[in-house]
């Protein structure tokens, strides 16, 4: 799942958090 590609940076931050 590449949330980085998604336009929602919040998802990426959520995964890294």
pLDDT in the model for residue 11: 66
pLDDT in the model for residue 13: 61
pLDDT in the model for residue 6: 64
Burial environment of residue 12 by CB neighbours within 10 A (0 to 12, 13 to 18, 19 or more) = middle
pLDDT in the model for residue 5: 63
pLDDT in the model for residue 3: 56
- The DSSP string of 4-17 is TTSS-HHHHHHHH-
Residue by residue, pLDDT tens for the chain (17 residues) are 555 666 766 766 666 55
pLDDT in the model for residue 1: 54
């Amino acid at each position: 799942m590449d949330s980085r590609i998604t336009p929602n940076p919040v998802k990426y931050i959520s995964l890294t958090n």
